[in-house]
Amino acid sequence: MRAVVTGGGSGIGAAVAHRLADDGFDITVADLEPDAVATDLGATGVRLDVRDEAQVARTMDGVDLLVNAAGIGSTTSAPDTPVEVWDDVFAVNARGTFLCCKHAIPAMKAQGGGAIVNVASIAALVGLKNRAAYCASKGAVVALTRALAVDHVGDRIRVNAVCPGTIDTPWVERLVGNAGESLDALRARQPMGRLGTPEEVADAVVYLATAEFVTGTILTVDGGLTAA
Ligand SMILES: NC(=O)c1ccc[n+]([C@@H]2O[C@H](COP(=O)([O-])OP(=O)(O)OC[C@H]3O[C@@H](n4cnc5c(N)ncnc54)[C@H](O)[C@@H]3O)[C@@H](O)[C@H]2O)c1
């Protein structure tokens, strides 16, 4: 079984790639920087920009499982968001996810079925402060997930999404480093008093990838953050 993991070069995508490799999938790590993880896994690495339709189309041949983990963030309220930032965030998170699904689905259909797991965020479900573009883009990913699940259930293609809470990846390191957010403040708002691990998100991705009666499901993996 061939699995393509976008964003597989770091963080959540890298943990998913490791876990799927352990489970016997033939992995393609598709990322702007795929090499370190691909080499580590002895997997195929593809330098992919998910915004580029021609590159995406070339990457999806023969795919059985697609995990869309490539993503970028934003750290401003709407009035403070330059339109270029809005467009970049949507280009990677919403358009990129759409393009990968658009080209994976015909390949899956030709093989009699497949599965897609999109990595959205709790930002799709609750308003996070100073994340206007990011919240909206992940909302688009959740809505797209449901639309695809309905359109392709008859093709034996299941489409689901995970909504991680705050997960300990280089992403959070950048938030703390560049956007001046405090790690203690991030931890303090977690009901479990800690951030999630990329491996804990990978567990949920593997569940959605393999649960045969589950499609159109949006699964939060947030340590109880949105239950409050
Ligand atoms: N870390 C968190 O707290 C958290 C929470 C909720 C959702 N998420 C989502 O999880 C996903 C993975 O995030 P992460 O925390 O592992 O961050 P990360 O920065 O460690 O990994 C993101 C990866 O996406 C790749 N990427 C970025 N733009 C790309 C593009 N145009 N084409 C191809 N690859 C591209 C990067 O190179 C990087 O390897 C993202 O979609 C993010 O929105 C993260």
Would residue 180 count as lying in a domain?
A: no
Ligand 1 midpoint to CA 154 (Å): 31
Ligand 1 midpoint to CA 191 (Å): 23
Would residue 29 count as lying in a domain?
A: yes
Q: Indicate the average pLDDT of the chain.
A: 96
| Residue of the CA atom closest to atom 20 of ligand 1 | 11
Cβ of 32 less than 6 Å from ligand 1: yes
Would residue 186 count as lying in a domain?
A: no
Q: Which of the four pLDDT bands, split at 50, 70 and 90, describes residue 124?
A: very high
Would residue 164 count as lying in a domain?
A: yes
Sign of the alpha-carbon dihedral angle for 181, 122, 138, 93? positive
Range of the domain at 154: 2-169+197-222
Name the 3-class secondary structure at 25: coil
Cβ of 13 less than 6 Å from ligand 1: yes
What pTM, to 2 d.p., does this model score? 0.98
Name the 3-class secondary structure at 196: strand
State the DSSP string of 119-187. Answer: E--GGGTSPPTT-HHHHHHHHHHHHHHHHHHHHHGGGTEEEEEEEE-SB-SHHHHHHHHHS---HHHHH
Q: What pLDDT score was predicted for residue 179?
A: 65
Atom nearest to 33 CA in ligand 1: 37
How far is residue 201's CA from residue 207's CA, in Å, rounded to a whole number?
10
| 191-199 average pLDDT score | 97
Would residue 137 count as lying in a domain?
A: yes
How far is residue 13's CA from residue 60's CA, in Å, rounded to a whole number?
17
207 is catalytic: no
Q: Which of 181, 143, 191, 183 is nearest to 163 (CA)?
A: 143
Is pLDDT at 139 greater than 80 in this prediction?
A: yes
Would residue 40 count as lying in a domain?
A: yes
Ligand 1 midpoint to CA 50 (Å): 12
How many domains are there within the chain? 1
Would residue 192 count as lying in a domain?
A: no
Q: Which of 5, 21, 18, 222 is nearest to 126 (CA)?
A: 222
Cβ of 64 less than 6 Å from ligand 1: no
Name the catalytic one among 25, 90, 134, 171.
Answer: 134
Would residue 101 count as lying in a domain?
A: yes
Give the tens place of pLDDT for each residue, 196-218. 999 999 999 999 999 999 999 99
Residue 64: CATH number of its domain? 3.40.50.720
CB neighbours of residue 129 within 10 Å: 8
